Structure 1
Amino acid sequence: MRPLELTKRILIYVLAATFLIFAIYPFMFMIGTSFKSMSEFFSNPFSIFPESFTMEHYMSVFHMGLTSYFINSIIITVSAVVLVVMIASLASYPLSRLKFRLNKPLFLLFVAGMMLPIHATLIPIFIMTNNAGIYDTLFALLGPYVAFSLPISIFILTQFMQEIPKELEEAAQIDGANHWKIFSKVIFPNVVPAISTIVIYNFVFLWTEFIFALILIQSPKNMTLPLGLQNFYGEFSINVPGLMAALTLASLPVLLLFILAQERVVKGLSGGAVKG
């Protein structure tokens, strides 16, 4: 290996290690602090590894309602992701496989939805939710969650469906298959990687969503996890280890999901961008 190439490689490794340290330190600090006692935190607040581990803060945050927030987040996130997969896959099939006059304008309209700022829709959505009588319920979050997850999902699925060979569809038509059978038996099984991508992407986005929950939810019993953590911040304004325990439990599902499936997310997003 040439000296210049070796120097470049060493420099890349040094930069990557430095970035890793800056990226992982906040998470290590959060997890380590959650196992500290109050006295240890005040005596040595910036250390990562506690001298003695304690689980009292994890027990206390569950007593303060974290379980209810978890259940609400799971219900609304899973429901929204399932609806997004169903609607996006059904919408992407005609956009990618059928030829009609409004094909491209409709696709561009969906893509334009990715550029719509969430904050510009807060007042209309609040008024519609209030008029529909579903304000301060989990149903109030379902519509906005699905609507803002559809554009990127349709974009990814449409690009994947366009890459499926036409011969598969033509062979199914020769066998007498209609559009529904072609979609369910030929197209959908071939876009499972793209389905996995949008499931992971939307789960991470909806699990951490805060602004719609803040506007549309008021009762503590209906709060999702990000909104519920705001209450923990007030309750643990002095008990920092307790707050870190709540944050650790809240972020653990998303961190594990993204670590295990980050390659699928990157592959799906890059794969959808190639053809578009």
Structure 2
Amino acid sequence: MQASTKMQAAGEKPAAWKKPVGFALKVLLLIYAIVTLYPLYWLVISAFKTNQEFFNRPYAWPLQWQIDNITRAWDLGNMGRAMINSAIVTIVALVLTVVIGTLAAYALSRFKFKLNPLLKGMFLLGMLIPIHSTLVPLFIFMNKVGILDTYWALIMPYTAFELPIAIFLGIAYLTSIPRDVEEAAMIDGNGWWGVFGRIIFPLCLPVISTVSILAFLRFWNDFSFALVFINTQALKTLPLSLSLFSDGFGTDYALTMGAMFIAVIPTIVIYLIFQEQIMKGMVAGSVKG
């Protein structure tokens, strides 16, 4: 009886600690969520304030919501055209990154040849290169080639600098996919391209979604490359349009916040869409032997 009583007491002790630990964990997660979401909340309320209210009541709700900030920022910053330019550059660079990255990862993870380790090392080395240190060489190169101040002046660097990450993640993910799947597809009469298009690419949806999120955020929010490589007003991307509301004499914070509110909406929408795709892809792409 005493032994059973001690066992019950010993068994109840961990259960007694679960509730406070679980509660503390939930509190920490709630605090983390508040800290993470507060900048977005501050941006939203600031986008609908006047300049005077922005300085006098920086953390309070607007006394009167200034919808005019959004419409004026859209018109004065030519944000419609800038959003189209950003969409063109981002989508093309994203497609190239996903297709080339997945193909390269498949080749490097499945085929054995002499230059395989060297190519893997080169792509891994590409992740260590400081991107902004290449601005001047790229500017000189693009000027000589004649693609400066075009969409390709942004698409090509975006794709090149994102490929090492895409290939690295792709190789790591493809090593978890058994070769039996490809062998079965080969027996059914598929060639290498058929195996890649019908089997490998769909199974890689989880890692493709991850790469797409990272690439989209970098491409859409890039400022330095667009500032250096784009001069024509009609080709300026969304981050460049935000700089129009600030000059050497002052900044119109009401319009700046309104423009930033417009710019952040596509990012949030795309991020939420890809988050759902990651969850679906992890379930659909899992392979169990």
Match in the other structure for 1:33 = 46
Structure 1 residue 257: Cα displacement: 2.5
Matches within 5 A, 1:1-276: 4-47=17-60, 49-64=61-76, 65-234=78-247, 237-262=250-275
Stretch moving more, 69-78 or 116-125? 116-125
> Closer, same or farther in 2 for the Cα pair 1:265/1:155, shift >3 Å?
farther
Task: Give the superposition deviation at 1:53.
Answer: 1.7
What SS class does the counterpart of residue 247 from structure 2 fall into? Answer: helix
Return closer, same or farther for 1:155/1:190 CA change in 2, 3 Å cut-off: same
Contact 2:209/2:274 (<8 A) preserved: no
CA deviation vs aligned residue, 1:243-274 (integer Å, no higher than 9, x gap):
111011111111232244347669999xxxxx
Q: TM-score, normalised by structure 2?
A: 0.83
Question: Matched residues in 2 for 1:181 and 1:263: separation?
Answer: 27
Q: Contact between 1:236 and 1:243, CA under 8 Å: does it hold in 2?
A: no
Q: Which runs of 5+ in 2 are unaligned?
A: 1-13, 283-289
Asked whether the 8 Å contact 2:245–2:252 carries over to 1, the reply is no
CA contact under 8 A between 1:69 and 1:224: conserved in structure 2? Answer: yes
Taking a change above 3 Å as real, the CA distance of residues 184 and 222 of structure 1, as seen in their structure-2 partners, is same
Name the structure 2 match of 1:272.
Answer: none
CA distance in 1, matches of 2:15, 2:41: 38
In our comparison, the structure showing a higher alpha carbon Rg is 2
State the alpha-carbon separation in 2 of the partners of residues 142 and 121 from structure 1.
15
Which 10-residue stretch deviates more, 192-201 or 74-83?
192-201
Report the Cα distance in structure 1 between the residues aligned to 2:202 and 2:32, rounded to whole angstroms: 39
Moved more, 99-108 or 8-17: 8-17
Deviations 1:92-132 (CA, angstroms, capped at 9, x unpaired) = 22111112222222122212211111122111111101101
Q: How far apart in 1 are the matches of 2:158 and 2:274?
A: 22
- Identity of paired residues, percent? 38
Change (3 A) 1:146 1:63: same
CA 1:176–1:11: 2 relative to 1, 3 Å: closer
1:208 and 1:146 map into 2 onto residues whose CA distance is: 15
Q: TM-score, normalised by structure 1?
A: 0.87
User: Paired residues, what number?
Assistant: 268
* Structure 1 position 235, deviation (Å): 9.3
Query: Structure 2 CA distance, aligned partners of 1:94 and 1:238?
Result: 51
- Rounded to whole Å, the distance in 2 between the matches of 1:19 and 1:193 is 26
Q: Distance in 2 between matches of 1:45 and 1:69?
A: 29
Note the alpha carbon deviations across 1:185-236, whole angstroms, 9 max, x for none: 2212221222222222211111111221122112222111112212223399
- For residue 179 of structure 1, what is the amino acid of its counterpart? W
